[in-house]
Amino acid sequence: MNSTTNGADNTTSDTNGHGSAPVSVTLGRKPPSKGAADGGGVVLAPGAGKTACIRTFGCQMNVHDSDRMRRMIRDAGYAEVQRYEDADVVVLNTCYVRENAVDRVRGHLGELSRLKKEGRVKKFALTGCVGAAKESSQLRNTYGIDLVLGTHNTYELAEFVGLPGMEETYTPDLPGTEGEHQAFVTIMTGCNYQCSYCIVPTVRGRMACRPMESVVEEVRMLVGSGARYVTLLGQTVDAWREKGGAKRFCDLLERVADEAPRVSFTTSHPSNMEDRTLKLIGEKETIVGRLHLPVQSGSDRMLRAMHRGYKSDRYRRKIEVFRDEVPDGTLSTDVIVGHPGETEADHDETLRLLEDCAFDSAYVFKFSPRKGTEAAEMARETSVADDVVQRRFMEVMRAVEQSAFRRNSTKIGSVEEIYVRHGRTGDGRAIGETWGGHAVHVPTDVSPGGYVTARVESAGPHVLHAGEPLS
Ligand code: SF4
């Protein structure tokens, strides 16, 4: 999920095509230095002296899971540090998306094992998708990992860090982050689809939806403690429904949009996206007009091979509704190039769909086989040659950039209310977002979570550039 509306290059490659380009994130504020010569820096909790480090790889779901674990660690009196060697306890929250994910994790585990033998790290945990994978028990034995958790039982970390045991049966009921301007709220985990190329259903399990009242309660609490922007998260977020009830994602979104001043959601599946949800996005002024709807291919033949569960024309119809209902909105997608068996005709169909839908941005992925998936087996017989994949990849990228640039250019001259997000550009401008979901750079000192109004002066394919704020 890892939605990149931050004005950075949002077209990436080489992952699983689920909008979740692997990233390595070290959570937490950069702590003040404990001494002039200490480049890493340590924050010592008042009176406690215990330290912990959380290292996160992967998608937004993982970042959010880390956020929850971080909260537990703080509650247990640990101060967060950035380097393994400064930490008593280390949590490695991992991603299984890349083919070499386990090898990458081995590197970190080797280092942690060494630090533990030297007495610098007291104990460490492996969590997340690699923790849920079958290789985890072998990793545990090889590296002497103290705790291995999957994606559904991160609550067990509580006892590991000295808190009373928790009895929740699934992760979403753990507390989220409070007091920050932007908050992520998981409304469902897992996935009931079986896309040919995807390991998510294997490592995250089947869909589990959180009760509506629990979500609304958390949103209320977050907004009460300062959150200005709430993003609802799920692998197929629009598949959310209340157990045994008639409530669907649209109903939940409306409730949340009544509670929070700014709302967004990711990632959606075309088969679950209802027209009334698209209409709601256009109607409700607290919902950002952005839709990320992964299509993966424009060819019905490839969509069937991928088990996506829809045809390209059905996808096109959804987009028409979105464009009608949210004329100023932004639309992004995921495309996989070079799935096993993809022919030139299939690729042409994808280019045609890109033209028809005129996306504002896209995550473009070169197919990369994941062990344990159907597509990895298919690749043994019908893989697409690397040079062909590379050419198709460039053609898809060009098509997306052209439509993105065209669409962004129509914004020049418009006056926008811009929400200031985190981070700054190299030349010190704030990174923000319009109500339509456009990434925009604006010269302002306003802190994240605030708004400025400014006129768009120029546009590139990935970002709008605004002038001095008008207010
Ligand atoms: S819908 Fe489910 S199986 Fe398909 S790509 Fe998304 S998470 Fe993976």
Residues 6+ apart with CB under 8 A from 138: none
Contact 241 CB / ligand 1 (< 6 Å):
no
Contact 288 CB / ligand 1 (< 6 Å):
no
- For residue 12, pLDDT over 50 is answered with no
The bridge status of strand 439-442 relative to strand 290-292 is unpaired
Residues 6+ apart with CB under 8 A from 256: 185, 215, 216, 219, 230, 232, 263
Strand, coil or helix: what is 225?
coil
Pair 454, 20: CB distance under 8 Å: no
Q: Tens digits of per-residue pLDDT, 69-93?
A: 887 788 788 888 889 999 999 999 9
Q: Where in the chain is the domain with CATH 3.40.50.12160?
A: 24-171
* Cα 358 → chain centroid: 23
- For residue 43, pLDDT over 70 is answered with no
In terms of pLDDT, which residue wins out, 417 or 97?
417
According to CATH, what is the number of the domain 24-171?
3.40.50.12160
Query: Any idea what DSSP says for residue 296?
Result: B
Q: Where are the beta strands (DSSP E) in 367-471?
A: 415-424, 430-433, 439-442, 451-459, 464-466
Q: How many CA atoms lie within 13 A of 162 on its CB side?
A: 13
Spatial CA neighbour of 359 closest among 298, 306, 420: 298
Pair 158, 164: CB distance under 8 Å: yes
Atom of ligand 1 nearest to the CA of 296: 5
In terms of pLDDT, which residue wins out, 294 or 422?
294
Cα angle 11-408-185, degrees, rounded to a multiple of 5? 60
| pLDDT value of residue 195 | 94
Report the distance separating Cα 83 and Cα 280, nearest Å: 45
Report the distance separating Cα 65 and Cα 152, nearest Å: 10
Mean pLDDT, to the nearest integer, of 208-234?
92
DSSP for 432-446, please give it: EE-TT--EEEE---P
The bridge status of strand 263-266 relative to strand 229-233 is parallel
Strand, coil or helix: what is 292?
strand
- For residue 20, pLDDT over 50 is answered with no
Atom of ligand 1 nearest to the CA of 235: 7
| pLDDT value of residue 186 | 87
The bridge status of strand 123-128 relative to strand 89-94 is parallel
Distances (CA, A) of 276 to 194, 255, 269, 292, 308: 26, 14, 15, 16, 22
CA of residue 184 to ligand 1 center, whole Å: 20
CA of residue 195 to ligand 1 center, whole Å: 5
Q: Where in the chain is the domain with CATH 2.40.50?
A: 415-466
CATH class of the domain at 415-466 = mainly beta
Q: Which of 193, 196, 237, 302 to mutate to test the pocket of ligand 1 (most atoms within 8 A of CB)?
A: 193
Report the distance separating Cα 194 and Cα 296, nearest Å: 14
In terms of pLDDT, which residue wins out, 471 or 286?
286
Percentage with pLDDT > 70 across the chain: 85
Q: Chain-wide mean pLDDT for the chain?
A: 83
Q: Label residue 15 by pLDDT band (50, 70, 90).
A: very low
Letter string b/e over residues 129-168, b meaning 16 or more CB atoms within 10 A of that residue's CB = bbbbbebbeebbeebebbbbbbbbbbbbbbebbeeeebee
